[in-house]
Each structure stands twice: as structure tokens, then as C-alpha cells.
Amino acid sequence: NEERKRKQQYANLDRYALMEKLGEGAFSVVHKARDLQTGELVAVKVIKKFQLDEKQQAAVLKEVTILRQMDHPNIVKFLNFIECDEHYYIVQELVSGGEIFAEIVKFTYLSEDLSRHIIIQVARAIRYLHEEVGVVHRDIKPENMLFEPIDLVPSKHGAKLRASDDPNTKLDEGQMQYGVGGGGIGVVKLADFGLSKQIWESNTKTPCGTVGYTAPEIVRDERYSKEVDMWAIGCVLYTLLCGFPPFYDERIETLTEKVARAQYTFLSPWWDEISIGAKKCVRNLLTLDPRKRYTIDDFLNDPWILEFDAKYAASA
């Protein structure tokens, strides 16, 4: 029976023809692949079992459980999971543009409009995770933000977006102005749920009455856990706007200290031209006290974020 199951798993794997490497992390290599059953291109995350201890293997299975539950346009879609003797395979939809990280490297920094276009989509994914699924991501960074490219059609005034009604793939004026350097990024999708953690929600998942016995550190940890994602969004937004992260030091001790004190500045000359609204928004995310930090709803209602909608209303 074991043997039959094993053979079946390998047969399941035959469905995917692995192609070139798309990226890699600490424990995994991600390949482009063709699903021979549907003919479609997919992404297969290959994880070597022998590199993982039991706890880490359990974490992979948890990542799969979490991914399975997800259904949101800004989160990579889970397609299949196969376990063989030596590897785990997580099959996902292919997000063909690659990492936002590479775009920052390529363009040094992004315009305010393009930064907003990206961060809003990440925020929608986070709102879904925090409010509907009850999961904290815990590893939001430009390497884990993938994008679908959009066609830019050359025009007299530079590159222009191909017409689309999908608000996620609409470019705003800033992006059109900057042409390919500022555009080309359509739908942004959050990947990598390896570190994410299910939130325990007192009012939905635990029967009333037992709440009174819950230790304060559990409740506290709970209350603060969503805030770590908001901090990370602040770090990402800062980096998109100027091209370097808010906290950096070659010595890990110094870096830790800077983070612990929320010690960062809007360095001149890089931040000189960036709007006060953008800076205020970043400041409300990189707030030391997690209780005073923006929640996901605060963030999505921030005036700088809402400028996006205002622009659309005006130009529509």
C-alpha cells in the first residue's frame, strides 16, 4: 500500500515538466513548469526534505494548509501539493514578471504613483489575510512581492498602457509619464507563506468563557502580531520611494538597536522631492508603539493612499 502511494505521488509529479529556475530561497528552488494536463505554465516550489528538521517539515505542511485557504487576486494561487521521498512540491500559478525587488534594483527607486500602485495591492492582500483569513504573513519584503507585467504601447508621449478596465492593471498618470521605467507593473501578488502564522481570534474561534483563562502574553502576542506586517509595509514603502531601506547597518547589533528604537530618517537629498503626504504615511507605519501604528484599515484610508482614487475620479 505504501509502495502504491509512493508510485502514485511520482505519477502525480509527471504531470509537470520542470523548466528554468525562477528564484530561490533558503530551503527551496522555484521552477517554471508546464502543466501537461492543462498546457498552462505554472511555478513549482521544490523543497528538499533532508535539509529540514521535523519542525521545519511541519512548517511546510502548514504553509500548504494556509495557501490552500487563500482566494484573493493579490495572493499567488495555490494549485497542487505533492510529497515524494526526498522533496515537497508546491505548485502555484506562475507570476511572470518576477520580484518587485528586481524592479527596485533596475530603476533605483520608483515614482510616488508607482509605489502607491504597488503598495495598495500588497495592502489589499494583507487586509484579506488579517481580516478574513486570520493570518499574519510575517515575511513581507520586495523579494516576496511578485508582479504580472503589463504591455506598454509606445506612443508619442512615451509608453502608454494598453487599455484595460481592471483597476489593478490600470496605470496612473505618473506611471504613464515615466513610461517603461515607471510602468510595466500590473497586478502585484504576495508570495511565500513559509513564516505565516494563523491568528487566534478570541471572538470567532474560541468559545466564550474560556477567554478568561487565556494568559496575557498570548493575548498580547495576538494583539501585536498583525502589527508586524504593518511595520514591514512601512519598510517596503520607504524602500520603494527612495531605493534603500529605512534601517541599515553592517553590524547586526547596531541594526537591531536602530530598529528597536525606530531610529530612521528621511535622508537628504533622496527624500527632498518626496511629498509630505508620503512621508506622513510612512511615519504612521514605522511607529515604535504597535498600538499607535497604522492598522491595515488606517493605511488604506490614509490621504496619500486615497490620492490614487481621487486622481481616477478626476480623470475618468
Which residues are annotated as part of the binding site for ATP? 49
Segment interacting with Mg ion, rule: CB under 5 A, options 68-76, 121-129, 186-194, 266-274? 186-194
What value, to the nearest 5°, has the Cα angle with vertex 272 and ends 263 and 147?
80
75 lines the binding site for ligand ADP (CB under 6 A): no
- From 81, 83, 92, 104, residue interacting with ligand ADP (rule: CB under 6 A): 92
For residues 91 and 83, give the distance between their C-alpha atoms in angstroms, rounded to a whole number: 11
Known catalytic residue at 139: yes
Distances (CA, A) of 132 to 244, 303, 316: 32, 24, 31
By CB under 5 A, what part of segment 122-151 binds Mg ion?
144
Kindly tell me which of 45 and 293 has the beta carbon lying closer to Mg ion. 45
Count of residues that interact with ligand ADP, criterion CB under 6 A: 23
Bridge partner list, 92: 43, 78
192 lines the binding site for ligand ADP (CB under 6 A): yes
CB of 240 to Mg ion, least distance (A): 18
By CB under 5 A, what part of segment 19-38 binds Mg ion?
25
Name the binder of 183 from Mg ion, ligand ADP, none, CB < 5-8 A by kind: none
Kindly tell me which of 25 and 73 has the beta carbon lying closer to Mg ion. 25
143 lines the binding site for ligand ADP (CB under 6 A): yes
63 lines the binding site for Mg ion (CB under 5 A): no
Q: E strands of 53-206, at which residues? A: 78-83, 87-93, 135-136, 145-149, 152-155, 158-161, 185-190, 197-198
Q: E strands of the chain, at which residues? A: 16-24, 28-35, 41-48, 78-83, 87-93, 135-136, 145-149, 152-155, 158-161, 185-190, 197-198
